[in-house]
Structure 1
């Protein structure tokens, strides 16, 4: 089940499923140590007329956020039982505390006793071995712990003199036929077992009296710490500063944060402006405070591959940080670049992917080829794109004068690697493609290497390293010349996706598969936008990769097998991906000569809005016949792609409506600031 409504503060990340059950609780790193590991934590309500969990089919729900914030707004009702309730959840921006406000309305014309049940099923350190839960009488809380991880679960009733539950239960689950303590709540009476060890869960009860036709508010919270003392400090804070004050400051922080964007968003139509800001906020939830930009934190994917997307891919991170830089959030992207500098290998390249703590992530890329020879298990575009976006980071942030350390520690070793990692033709040597499926010389990779070398030349020029400046620019020229010679198919009047080395023939074999990642040939500046070869390539990409169903959208490439749902590839070349559809929108924006020309791009942007969840969360891809989210959701890259295309749309709109005057160019639009590398 897709994840929705992520909330976090860069240390704690909470994900809900489509029914608004808590599924993921990451701490102390975003994307590392999922303290619930896809185990479902329940929330339920008892009244004299019956009991229900929030995922009961009779519960109607409208799930969204409060405008411009990372505080949720879940509007729910159970008509038969005469109850409606609004849940507002947030993670405090200053402390590692999850906050839940529940406003319950009694719709019946009679006083009723209402009991709320908050259940937590944790897997501390990502597993359920050796966990402990007990009721702490001093905190009046349930306390979970193992090693250096502590989490407390507490509540505050409007009818109670102090913050304490009216009942609690602890127990084991998943062993000996035990389902968990949540079952104990369904009769409205908790057993009160005070401690449990092993694979455990717990639930607390909050009781209140609701007069006829009345509304009351109740609170729950979870504190996260590395020690019991840290959790105790947070519990004292909640009881003095009040949970309302913390939730309010969290709401206010995010409203202020997202409205600091560097663009003149008022020029956008309201739906585009609102969704753009939502993309910024959702992107922020997947950025760890130590610099890792995580691809996705949807643990539901574990069912598919027994691994997750909770890694920092340097490519994804580079493109996400680039969108954040263009929006003016330089401090966030700066931490990402510091992360990359830290993990750069002595040879000058970045690995496949990393854990949020900067250790090397899992990988399926072999270090030997089919003949037993050593090969680098890397995607070269990842190193090149960090180099490319680092240059633009300094240009956009106005910090180029302080870039010397970056130049010495990252730019020179990374650029020198790109120079060395080439064959006699001038093309980059084979590496894995951006889709992580094939080993060869990919158009996307070649374009990114060119962009990285141009960026390195500019760094060298600024730092008066004239020899390197000339050298890097010359090598970039050689890469471009080799691309023209080997990656273009004159007989088809378009570019190739890739070249693969054939040992028997001792030559490259062309790959004619149409792949939307070929957009990089213009986007990274390898070829000019108006180049007839590029125009022809982009045209056929749209023709062949558009999904011919009611859903529409653009597939990754012809006959994409990943999560494939039909063999009718003439109609459905692959599932529609958000990033691929938005890449084509970028092309349309870049090509637009009049405001009218922007309308088709605007339609594709609205396609993304239409196929996102009501909350704004975009998956990696959607089902070509139903439009349901597929693979992980939300995918950070999807949101960054919408951010980038909106920035370009807005800048082009301003440029066209002001007849090309210099003042019309948005200062954060790097395609105008840097016309050579797009």
Structure 2
């Protein structure tokens, strides 16, 4: 029986084109090549026979992971009865060229103390483990071929090939090292000096990028600075550097409930998630990312009418994201189905119009030059919102039941018109092209506001509600109303909404469910991480700083030991859903900034200090040669 690892037992590395999940047992259990939205070459994350590449001690060992400071270079430290060794994993970063040399993953194994016997297993499985490739010895190591792809594991140790896998053994004393390099459609000759220089360049890249906002000038100075840096590094890994789009997560079908069917493919570009991401990065000084994304997004949206706008697209612009299941995979902890594609692309989600226009508005405030070339898109979106705001949709939570008149969708339609109006009101005298039917927009904005206040607020509950139809049910997205300026944070109706959500959707630890009522799917789910951060933001804006700080730190503890957060967390603290999740890390950043602004660091109890390997508790594993599950 396959022993699946908990999701917090994984670190991630990447090259701004794809992301690998690497376990504390030294196994690369998830990697799609050449891009994150392509088929996997290793998928043990979703099935025990899905393929992996593992380097680990041959005898029983304990292991812990950490990152090289302010980088996406991952280190896994092994301790055995006879010694200690470290595997350092990294991928060279993609550049805007046709150079594919970044499509490699480097693994250096270094002896730290005593003598450690290690085993290497290379078991690639192409096309989501539907294809078992042919393995052959080559000059550089072992090459797997099949389904029109090749994957080479280079190394200087001898490999044995049997039954679709290659194995090798090595023994390292303190100070000795060996290199292994995975190359997609290429073979890399082992050259330790060149590899060390390459690693130094990768470390420099990440440290320079992450220090665009230094600890002294960062809006998250103080106890949460390192946590904020880790979240920015995660978000950067999800950005496709060649085009600027942002994956919601690098994985598919990690379940929201073990044994349930809420298993979705998040390797696509949601306009909503991406808009939140670039807004958060912009506040930390990463202006290049915000401008690149909205330039692409607005150009793409301008190719069709607003009515044809999808809430989600492929990372390289694909519109057909037809959902299908991979029935040959067992799923993480036997949770099926395993899906690729996402039917949300065909849904109507009216809040997306607001997320887009609000995001563009904030980007322009940070200095992005977007209006000259793209004002017509904003104007057309505002006109379209005037026509459709009062129609039902499936909402921010992408329900798969009957559409409703979701209150949050109405508010975001209001926000789209509000920001379009602000663009015109704030335009310079010479910006003659920034014009539109502003009187009509104002009238519709007021009509939406009146409808929300009259039909979207329940006086008996003292709270805004899920939808005009479900007027006794709650929705955690309503915590964002002050963030988009629909009402001030100290309005009694906002205070009542906070209290209702705390009472009916929140655990004692501050973990928040998305909403009450059915979403058209069977079974349940865990607590949605970003909702907890929305609660933090709402409390902070309302002046309840100590309370907000306590919830923030409790939720952030769920990301230990590496600071990586999945989509959801159970009341017991187990992470579930796709990981690392952009939405969750956006929440970390926005809440950390809000708390810092309001003085929350004075109430910090736990903080989030940088970790060293010595600070972490290790996880015990059987040796690679002893583990039947491998």
Q: 1:454 aligns with which of 418, 421, 429?
A: 418
The equivalent of 1:31 in structure 2 is: 37
* C-alpha contact (below 8 Å) 2:24/2:76 kept by paired residues: no
Q: 1:32 to 1:604 in 2, by over 3 A?
A: farther
Question: Mind listing any 5+ residue stretches in structure 2 that lack a counterpart?
Answer: 45-49, 95-101, 325-344, 604-630
Q: Secondary structure at the match of 1:215?
A: coil
Contact 1:619–1:635 under 8 Å retained in 2: yes
1:440 maps to which residue? 404
Match of 2:534 in 1: 583
Q: Which residue of 2 aligns with 1:295?
A: 248
SS in 1 for 2:418: helix
- What is the match of residue 99 of structure 1? 106
User: Counterparts of 1:436 and 1:30 in 2: how far apart (Å)?
Assistant: 23
* Cα 1:42/1:153, change in 2 over 3 Å: closer
Size of the aligned set, in residue pairs, is 551
Conservation of the 8 A alpha-carbon contact between 1:447 and 1:520: no
- Shift of the 582–537 alpha-carbon distance from structure 1 to 2, 3 Å rule, reads same
Contact 2:253 2:264 in 1 (8 A): no
Residue correspondence of structure 1 range 161-200 to structure 2 within 5 A: 164-165=156-157, 167-173=158-164, 181=165
Instruction: Identify the match of residue 403 of structure 1 among 351, 364, 371.
Output: 371
Match of 1:387 in 2: 357
- 1:61 and 1:565 map into 2 onto residues whose CA distance is 35
CA contact (8 A) 1:63 1:73 kept: yes
Q: Is the 8 A contact 1:63 1:75 kept in 2?
A: yes
Q: Are 1:491 and 2:460 matched, yes or no?
A: yes
Alignment TM-score, normalising by the size of structure 2: 0.80
Which ranges in structure 1 are unaligned for 5 or more consecutive residues? 53-57, 109-113, 156-163, 174-180, 182-201, 226-230, 366-374, 423-427, 500-508, 567-573, 658-678
Q: How does 1:646-661 map to 2 (within 5 A)?
A: 646-653=592-599
Report the more deviating stretch, 453-462 or 532-541: 453-462
- The question of 1:16 aligning with 2:28 is answered no
1:474 aligns with 2:443: yes
Tell me how far 1:640 sits from its aligned partner.
0.7
Q: Does 1:377 align with 2:368?
A: no
Higher RCO, 1 vs 2 (CA within 8 Å, ≥6 residues apart): 2
> Which of the numbers 114, 120, 124 marks the counterpart of 2:126?
124
Moved more, 309-318 or 338-347: 338-347
- In structure 2, the partner of 1:358 is 317
For the pair shown, which has the larger CA radius of gyration, 1 or 2?
1
1:264 shift after superposition: 4.7
Residue 605 (structure 1) aligned with residue 552 (structure 2): yes
1:246 aligns with 2:246: no
Match of 1:429 among 384, 387, 391: 391
2:568 pairs with one of 613, 621, 632? 621
Which one of the candidate residues 41, 47, 52 is aligned to 1:41?
A: 52
CA displacement at 1:331 relative to structure 2? 2.0
Deviation at 1:440, TM superposition (A): 1.1
Taking the aligned partners of 1:430 and 1:45, their CA distance within structure 2 comes to 54
2:177 pairs with one of 214, 217, 227: 217
In the alignment, what sits opposite 1:413? 380
Provide, for residues 609-667 of structure 1, a one-character-per-residue CA deviation record: whole Å limited to 9, x for no partner.
2111301111112121x21112222211000111111122223339999xxxxxxxxxx
**TM-score of the superposed pair, with normalisation by structure 1:** 0.74
- Which residue does 1:320 correspond to in 2? 277
Q: Indicate if the aligned counterparts of 2:90 and 2:105 stay in contact, CA closer than 8 A.
A: yes
1:515 and 2:522 aligned: no
Pick aligned residue for 2:234 from 279, 282, 288: 282
* Partners of 2:169 and 2:450 in 1: CA distance: 71
Between the aligned partners of 1:31 and 1:652, the Cα distance in structure 2 is 39
Instruction: Tell me which residue corresponds to 2:69.
Output: 67
Contact 1:415 1:453 in 2 (8 A): yes
The structure-2 alpha-carbon separation of the partners of 1:59 and 1:563, relative to structure 1 and needing over 3 Å to count, comes to farther
Return the alpha-carbon distance in structure 2 between the equivalents of residues 107 and 654 of structure 1: 46
Is the partner of 1:43 in helix, strand or coil? strand
Q: Does the CA contact (< 8 Å) of 2:349 and 2:393 recur in 1?
A: yes
Cα gap change, 1:218/1:633 in structure 2, threshold over 3 Å: closer, same or farther?
A: same
Q: CA deviation at 1:60?
A: 0.9
Offset, 1:579: 0.9
Alpha-carbon shift at residue 322 of structure 1 (Å): 1.4
CA contact (8 A) 2:51 2:125 kept: no
Give the 3 Å change call, closer, same or farther, for CA 378–268 of structure 1 in structure 2.
closer
RMSD across aligned positions (CA):
3.2
